[in-house]
Amino acid sequence: MMTINEKKQVFDAMLSTNEWAGNVKLPPMANRKIVLLFALVVEKELKSGSELFDLFPEGLSKELDAFIKECLEKAGLEMFYEKLKAFK
């Protein structure tokens, strides 16, 4: 079984290739339910200290957070999302 450090090294090696460096265009057809679910799941995993997010390089969680905020804003869900989080 690989240790977390070994997994990080493999993951870093994979992400350091040129193919991973550029931006991609995503389809603009995600519905509001998907955006909301995506935001909730990612935030929960980030806060729980999931091993998956431990594998990502430093700073990637901030980029992911910014991406989620942008998705929520474009879907018009930022206020709803904040109110929903208050119920937890």
Q: How far is Cα 11 from Cα 37, in angstroms, rounded to an integer?
A: 26
Each domain of the chain, given as residue ranges in start order, spans 30-88
CB within 8 Å of 62: residues ≥ 6 apart: none
Question: Can you give 25-65 as a three-state secondary structure string?
Answer: CCCCCCCHHHHHHHHHHHHHHHHHCCHHHHCCCCCHHHHHH
pLDDT interval class at 88 (50, 70, 90): low
Q: Which tens digits make up the pLDDT trace of 19-67?
A: 777 777 777 778 999 999 999 998 888 788 777 777 777 777 788 889 9
Query: Taking the model in full, what pTM does it have?
Result: 0.72
Q: How far is Cα 84 from Cα 33, in angstroms, rounded to an integer?
A: 13
